[in-house]
């Protein structure tokens, strides 16, 4: 997993920071302390940008709480998929629910990829 120290030199010109884990195939994950340091780094970067530069991940509609740092909510995006939700494939119930959601994207306010 990248550390805050490793990420710091790259944030000045970044528009998005995407942290993906667990990392396949090892299942490597970030510790709470490591994630807290990264969150603090992003918050500090956005504060430094002030109103003269666009913050990281600005303008994204967020739909879930952030458990490590509540102040990270405006800068955090959760992305999930159905292909490997459980095991090596999506269970039938997930496939049926996904099909129903895709048939009702206007009603749900969703934009399918």
Tell me, yes or no, whether 21 and 70 share the same domain.
yes
Tell me the CA distances in angstroms from 95 to 87, 105, 110, one per residue in order: 14, 15, 17
**Nearest residue to 41 via CA among 88, 94, 3:** 3
Q: Encode pLDDT of 34-49 as tens digits.
A: 889 999 999 999 999 8
Tell me, yes or no, whether 73 and 25 share the same domain.
yes
Highest mean pLDDT among 1-15, 47-61, 81-95: 1-15
**Nearest residue to 31 via CA among 6, 59, 8, 2:** 2
pTM: 0.56
Residue span of the structural domain in which 45 resides: 4-79
User: What CA–CA distance (Å, rounded) separates 58 from 15?
Assistant: 8
């Amino acid at each position: 997993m990248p550390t805050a120290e490793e990420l710091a030199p790259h944030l000045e010109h970044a528009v998005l920071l995407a942290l993906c884990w667990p990392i396949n195939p090892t299942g490597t994950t970030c510790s709470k302390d490591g994630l807290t340091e990264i969150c603090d780094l992003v918050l500090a970067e956005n504060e430094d940008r002030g109103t003269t530069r666009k913050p990281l991940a600005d303008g994204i509609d967020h739909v879930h709480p952030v458990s490590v740092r509540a102040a990270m909510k405006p800068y955090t995006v959760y992305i999930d998929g159905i292909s490997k939700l459980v095991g090596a494939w999506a269970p039938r119930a997930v496939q049926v629910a996904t099909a129903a959601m895709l048939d009702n994207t206007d009603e749900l306010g969703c934009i399918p990829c």
